[in-house]
């Protein structure tokens, strides 16, 4: 996932908030002064945040001052008596809000990856204020009138390509934000925006607490039968950390299915773990997210209606590659029949295994991965625990992910131990171009913690911009299980793929080559932003890359060829499940965001069931990847009416990879072409045009279907 930030005009909306813990003092009384590390740009290389100096109490005063400064800057632009021109309006706008961008870039990483009650409290207080701040800019009539005046005479302005794109982009953003509304409607919109921001923040913290409380505690070792020893050790350590000595704890991952389900022999434990996941946020307690999301959906519908749209999706898809809900529905509709047929066939096959073993039960959602993993073992003779020793985390990173980037783009990496980090497991690498010039910094934060949101994501701490003279400072966050002390971190092939994925986002950020910060790097539409990341996943199985990193952590031997062949053959196995669960989640998202104001949903569970049934995706054995009540992407992380983007981008990534296959695969020439035409382009062109230029035609869906084994 690319963490979505609204970086326009330097402001960043963030991602999470509080959980009912009361911090003693969130630092609101501390004045902003030169002793605050955010006062000026960091003097560390690349303006990297100085985590040795940054304290929780610095955020609030810096944020408040950052908003104040930017509003003064905006005021000056809006009230300029000189006629609007590109320089005195848009360029000045792009330069505004630098203090706020500085502090939010750091605040985002901490609140999502290493939060604490004090930060959560600040977040809950500041989220509505930041939403109001965005409104103060985008709903400023005088400012919009200047942008509009420029837009109307754009043909005569003699702008270069990026400048023209910036003008068109701002004009559309102002319109989407409601700049054309009457003052009365603007006030209504502002109130709704503030309420939405507060509720999104609340949702994140409710969910974090719910997932933490939802962890499954086990008292007898045979309940964990089937789990590999490292996982049992990790579960015991987790119990210890939670002060539950002598017991085991299985923490919840953010998706419906939990990784342990594929190896737990005890059916009752499987059911328990699945149900803990499924009902984590529906316990009718303070962390039950359902009231929060009913109101969120209602607010979004009301906002869309204010702006004159039928629903939220129609309103917010305007600046996306897909452009309309109808285009999204048509696209998803093309995938449903093939994927449902595939999982129905697979379900029969799995049931046959259950019956052959005289199980005497009907396959349920919590059995799927367990039997799928048996079929996989039987058919491909592939055991995930047999392959994990070849995927040692550091090898995968340096000899896999970095190596592929070196082969394709000529870039190299050097670890920087002198740059301060926010947590001891975080590592920093400096990235160099092929001529040895410097590109930026790349941070990794790989291990799961209780104070980290689930999933994996990328973001910038410092964005690239030639106008501001900044180079990218980027981080990847994952949730790999931290090994017991002294043990190597052995990860699954899924985890390997995730690492390549997040690094694909990082490359999109690192190769950014824009003048204007708003158009830089990964600041592209959601249905395009997952394209570079998913595309990068393909290199995990490239023979040259694979044999370089898949090395046994003890013996140092390469993975035997027959095991490699098995992984490749098995790669399409169970893809129907993966596709169908994502489709179901995408359909849920679109259903919530095509609700009309007149008919708000009243019951989350009923609504969810009906939405899935209407889509032909209410399948007991294949539940959605995220249920409404724990669907962080759409309620808080900026993927509202946007979860389809993952599948949309899959169409793009498989098709682009097909181009590589047709043109000689992994080599520096092809890499340079992809870098020039896609990775370095940021949002300087219409994504549909960028793709077409690279591929030579519009995207086709067949490579996606073929790669999923659905053709």
Q: For residue 486, how far is the Cα from the chain centroid?
A: 31
C-alpha span between 504 and 479 (Å, rounded) = 17
* Cα-Cα-Cα-Cα dihedral sign, residues 533, 537, 540, 544: negative
The helix/strand/coil state of 436 is coil
C-alpha span between 704 and 663 (Å, rounded) = 18
- Position of tokens 């789990």? 227
- In the bound complex, what is the minimum distance in angstroms from residue 523's beta carbon to Zn ion? 14
C-alpha span between 386 and 159 (Å, rounded) = 58
Residue 533 binding Zn ion, by CB under 5 A: yes
Report residue 249: phi and psi, to 5°: -125, 125
Instruction: List the structure tokens of 118.
Output: 């004090």
Instruction: List the structure tokens of 314.
Output: 């129609």
502 flagged as catalytic: yes
- In the bound complex, what is the minimum distance in angstroms from residue 194's beta carbon to Zn ion? 29
Q: Output 94 or 530, the one with its CB closest to Zn ion.
A: 530
Q: Output 1 or 54, the one with its CB closest to Zn ion.
A: 1
Q: Output 238 or 650, the one with its CB closest to Zn ion.
A: 650
- In the bound complex, what is the minimum distance in angstroms from residue 517's beta carbon to Zn ion? 21
Q: Output 77 or 656, the one with its CB closest to Zn ion.
A: 656
Alpha carbon separation from 693 to 169, 181, 674 (Å, rounded) = 21, 37, 10
C-alpha span between 604 and 295 (Å, rounded) = 11
Burial of 635 (0-12, 13-18, 19+ CB in 10 A): buried
Q: Output 1 or 567, the one with its CB closest to Zn ion.
A: 1
- In the bound complex, what is the minimum distance in angstroms from residue 505's beta carbon to Zn ion? 6
- In the bound complex, what is the minimum distance in angstroms from residue 553's beta carbon to Zn ion? 27
* Cα-Cα-Cα-Cα dihedral sign, residues 420, 505, 498, 120: positive
Q: Output 287 or 536, the one with its CB closest to Zn ion.
A: 536
First-last CA distance in the chain = 27
Binding-residue total with Zn ion (CB under 5 A):
3
- In the bound complex, what is the minimum distance in angstroms from residue 658's beta carbon to Zn ion? 20
Q: Output 65 or 537, the one with its CB closest to Zn ion.
A: 537
Half-sphere exposure of residue 612, counting CA atoms within 13 Å on the CB side?
24
- In the bound complex, what is the minimum distance in angstroms from residue 530's beta carbon to Zn ion? 5
* Contact (Cβ atoms closer than 8 angstroms) between residue 239 and residue 217: yes
Binding range to Zn ion, per CB under 5 A, among 117-125, 209-217, 533-541, 605-613: 533-541
C-alpha span between 334 and 647 (Å, rounded) = 11
CA-nearest of 687, 615, 631 to 335 is 615
Phi-psi domain of 395 (left: phi exceeds 0; alpha: psi -120 through 50; beta: other): alpha
Phi-psi domain of 91 (left: phi exceeds 0; alpha: psi -120 through 50; beta: other): alpha
DSSP 242-298: TT-TTSEEEPPPSSSS-GGGGT---HHHHHHHHHHHHTTT-SSSTT--HHHHHHHHH
Q: Output 459 or 520, the one with its CB closest to Zn ion.
A: 459
CA-nearest of 301, 290, 480 to 394 is 480
- In the bound complex, what is the minimum distance in angstroms from residue 181's beta carbon to Zn ion? 33
- In the bound complex, what is the minimum distance in angstroms from residue 113's beta carbon to Zn ion? 15
Tell me which residues in 267-286 interact with Zn ion (CB under 5 A): none
C-alpha span between 522 and 2 (Å, rounded) = 8
Alpha carbon separation from 297 to 311, 587, 679 (Å, rounded) = 10, 15, 34
* From 126, 392, 502, 650, active-site residue: 502
Question: Count of residues for the chain?
Answer: 711
Q: Output 112 or 533, the one with its CB closest to Zn ion.
A: 533
Q: Output 301 or 321, the one with its CB closest to Zn ion.
A: 321
Binding range to Zn ion, per CB under 5 A, among 1-9, 23-31, 408-416, 445-453: 1-9
- In the bound complex, what is the minimum distance in angstroms from residue 14's beta carbon to Zn ion? 18
Q: Output 122 or 645, the one with its CB closest to Zn ion.
A: 645
- In the bound complex, what is the minimum distance in angstroms from residue 589's beta carbon to Zn ion? 16
* Contact (Cβ atoms closer than 8 angstroms) between residue 541 and residue 571: yes
Binding mask 492-531 for Zn ion (x = CB under 5 A): --------------------------------------x-
Q: Which residues contact 563 (CB under 8 A, 6 or more apart)?
A: 382, 386, 387, 390
* Contact (Cβ atoms closer than 8 angstroms) between residue 271 and residue 363: no
**Residues lying near Zn ion in the complex (CB under 5 A):** 1, 530, 533
Catalytic residue numbers, as ranges: 502
């Amino acid at each position: 996932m690319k963490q979505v930030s609204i970086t326009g005009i330097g402001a960043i909306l963030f991602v999470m908030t509080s959980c009912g813990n009361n911090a003693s003092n969130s630092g609101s009384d501390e004045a902003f002064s030169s002793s605050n590390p955010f006062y000026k740009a960091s003097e560390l290389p690349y303006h990297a945040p100085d985590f040795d100096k940054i304290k929780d109490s610095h955020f609030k005063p810096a944020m408040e001052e950052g908003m104040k400064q930017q509003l003064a800057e905006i005021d000056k632009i809006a009230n300029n008596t000189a006629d609007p021109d590109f320089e005195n309006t848009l360029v000045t706008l792009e330069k505004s809000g630098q203090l706020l961008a500085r502090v939010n870039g750091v605040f985002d990483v901490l609140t999502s990856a290493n939060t604490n009650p004090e930060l959560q409290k600040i977040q809950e207080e500041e989220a509505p204020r930041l939403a109001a701040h965005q409104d103060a800019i985008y709903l400023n009539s005088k400012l919009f009138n200047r942008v509009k005046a420029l837009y109307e005479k754009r043909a005569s302005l003699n702008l270069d390509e990026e400048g023209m794109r910036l003008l068109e982009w701002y004009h559309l953003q102002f319109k989407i934000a409601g700049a054309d509304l009457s003052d009365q409607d603007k006030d209504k919109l502002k109130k709704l925006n503030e309420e939405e921001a507060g509720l999104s923040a609340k949702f994140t913290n409710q969910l974090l607490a719910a997932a933490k409380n939802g962890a499954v505690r086990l008292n007898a070792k045979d309940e964990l039968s089937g789990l590999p020893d490292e996982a049992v050790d990790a579960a015991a350590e987790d119990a210890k950390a939670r002060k539950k000595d002598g017991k085991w704890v299985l923490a919840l991952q953010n998706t419906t299915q939990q990784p342990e389900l594929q190896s737990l022999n005890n059916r009752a434990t499987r059911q328990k773990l699945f149900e803990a996941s499924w009902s984590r946020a529906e316990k009718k307690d303070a962390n039950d997210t359902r009231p929060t999301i009913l109101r969120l959906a209602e607010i979004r519908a009301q906002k869309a209606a204010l702006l004159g749209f039928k629903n939220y999706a129609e309103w917010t898809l305007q600046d996306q590659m897909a452009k309309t809900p109808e285009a999204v529905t048509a696209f998803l509709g093309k995938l449903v029949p093939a994927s449902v047929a595939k999982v129905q066939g697979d379900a029969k096959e799995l049931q046959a295994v259950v019956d052959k073993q005289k199980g005497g039960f009907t396959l349920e959602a919590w059995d799927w991965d367990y039997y799928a993993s048996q079929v996989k073992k039987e058919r491909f003779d592939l055991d995930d625990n047999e392959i994990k020793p070849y995927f040692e985390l550091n090898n995968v990173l340096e000899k896999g992910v970095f190596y592929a980037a070196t082969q394709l783009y000529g870039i190299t990496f050097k670890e920087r131990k002198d740059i301060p980090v926010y947590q001891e497991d975080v590592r920093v690498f400096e990235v160099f171009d092929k001529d040895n010039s410097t590109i930026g910094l790349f941070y990794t934060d790989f291990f799961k913690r209780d104070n980290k949101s689930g999933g994996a994501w990328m973001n910038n701490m410092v964005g690239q911009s030639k106008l501001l003279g900044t180079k990218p400072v980027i981080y990847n966050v994952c949730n790999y299980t931290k090994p017991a002390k002294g043990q190597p971190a052995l990860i699954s092939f899924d985890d390997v793929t995730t690492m390549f994925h997040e690094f694909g986002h990082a490359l999109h950020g690192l190769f950014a080559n824009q003048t204007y910060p708003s158009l830089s790097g990964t600041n592209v539409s959601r249905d395009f932003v997952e394209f570079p990341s998913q595309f990068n996943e393909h290199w995990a199985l490239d023979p040259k890359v694979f044999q370089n990193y898949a090395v046994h952590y003890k013996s140092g031997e390469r993975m035997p060829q027959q095991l490699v062949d098995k992984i490749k053959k098995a790669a399409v196995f169970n893809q129907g499940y993966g596709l169908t669960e994502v489709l179901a989640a995408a359909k849920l998202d679109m259903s919530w965001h095509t609700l009309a104001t007149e008919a708000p949903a009243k019951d989350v569970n009923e609504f969810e069931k009906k939405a899935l049934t209407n889509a032909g995706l209410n399948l007991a054995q294949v539940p959605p990847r995220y249920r409404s009540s724990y669907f962080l992407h759409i309620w808080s992380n900026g993927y509202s009416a946007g979860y389809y983007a993952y599948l949309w981008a899959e169409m793009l990534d498989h098709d682009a990879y097909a181009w590589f296959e047709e043109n000689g695969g992994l080599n520096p020439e092809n890499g340079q072409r992809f870098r020039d035409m896609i990775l370095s382009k940021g949002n300087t062109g219409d994504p549909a045009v960028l793709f077409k230029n690279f591929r030579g035609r519009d995207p086709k869906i067949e490579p996606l279907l073929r790669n999923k084994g659905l053709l």
